Amino acid sequence: MKKKIEAEGTATPGYREAVEELESIVAKIEDPSTKIEEISSLVKRAMDLAQICKKELGRYREEIDKLQKEQDGRA
């Protein structure tokens, strides 16, 4: 999926990119060498990425529901 450009000019990752970054963040948080000062910003970023994933999944769910309704109407 292509990255979307937000109003402030930063790229918003697509679903796959967000999941990959979340996995990376989890690994960093679990790493004992990660400084406690970094944890807060990592958690904030993880929450932002989780919201992106939630929105994308909701959008796909709506598409699937629409397709199912169209199919039911043809049956």
Evaluate whether 18 touches 52 at the Cβ level (below 8 Å). yes
Per residue in 52-66, pLDDT tens? 999 999 999 999 999
Per residue in 16-40, pLDDT tens? 999 999 999 999 999 999 999 999 9
Residue 11 has pLDDT above 90, yes or no: no
Any idea which architecture 4-74 has in CATH?
Orthogonal Bundle (1.10)
Residue 6 has pLDDT above 90, yes or no: no
Residue 1 has pLDDT above 50, yes or no: no
Domain map (residue ranges) of the chain: 4-74
Phi, psi dihedral angles at 11 (to 5 degrees): -85, 135
Predicted local distance difference test score (pLDDT) of residue 3: 53
